[in-house]
Amino acid sequence: MSSAAFYRSLGGGRYASSGATAGPWSPGTQHAGPPSALVGRLMERHGARPGMRIARVTVDLPRPVPVDDLDVEVATVRAGERTELLEGRITSQGREVLLARAWRLVAAPDDTPALSPLAPVPPLPGPQPPQTMAGAYLDGYVSAMEWRFPPAAPGAAEPGFDTPGPGTAWARQRIPLVEGEADTPLTRALTLADSSWAVGFELDHRRGLVINTDVTLLLHRDPVGEWMCLRSATAAAAGGSGLAQGELHDGTGECGRILQTLLVT
């Protein structure tokens, strides 16, 4: 993986996708993290007002996002004094491949108490060899991110993508989202968010089809720094579907949640 960035701007809301966007299932289709971050980047800039922040982004994936040129559009659905609802979409060769909605809210006042119901995650481990994933295409998104799994407990299997979850992993981007542009806390979080259920693989995705149809990122505060930690688990039921539930942490503590609906067939 030698790409300078996940995307290169072509102007006018159009972006060229690099090979780094390719997901683990095919070199021709993207991991949902980079395109989620791309639409989130434009949402942040669309009608931005001081003192407001994006607190929730929900991304729906009606079809695979190809590793191809993408057109991104963002519009305001509702604009109020304290809240705004934004809508975005990505098309490729005239076909809609991603839909998104986001709530932008007035930032909470300085005297709001810091509340955190979750236990702390393990500290960031030291450097590790590149991670593997059985049967996956690795020379794209998986390699464009740096992954570090906490050490295994005595007698437990070494953690990684091939060890059944629940799971915990620290990660950061090796390359920027858009060539020549700085990333933001929101785009970093969105680039990683779609990996939540992979960190906590509990359904056998090699025996049958297990894939997420959406991803919702909820941030009660903006992440700090380039490293973030996912702690993820899965719920599922016969005759139903799967639900991946993730926590997002940074070096200072908990900062959000991630939810993904899983198609199991």
- List the alpha helices (DSSP H) in 145-222: 185-193, 196-199
155 assigned to some structural domain? yes
Amino acid at 232: S
Amino acid at 124: L
* pLDDT score recorded for residue 205: 76
113 assigned to some structural domain? no
Give residue for tokens 């639900």.
243
195 assigned to some structural domain? yes
Distance CA 31, CA 90 (A): 14
Q: What is the CATH number of the domain that holds 220?
A: 2.40.160.210
Q: Report the chain (265 residues): mean pLDDT per 10 consecutive residues.
A: 90 98 96 98 97 98 98 98 98 97 97 92 95 92 97 82 91 98 98 94 82 97 98 95 97 97 94
CB of 52 closer than 8 Å to CB of 85: no
* pLDDT score recorded for residue 201: 86
1 assigned to some structural domain? no
Domain count, the chain: 1
* pLDDT score recorded for residue 157: 79
98 assigned to some structural domain? yes
121 assigned to some structural domain? no
* pLDDT score recorded for residue 17: 98
38 assigned to some structural domain? yes
117 assigned to some structural domain? no
Which structural domain, as residue segments, surrounds residue 254? Answer: 7-107+128-264
* pLDDT score recorded for residue 153: 79
Nearest to 202 by CA among 255, 264, 115: 264
How many helices, marked H, and strands, marked E, lie in the chain? Answer: 4, 13
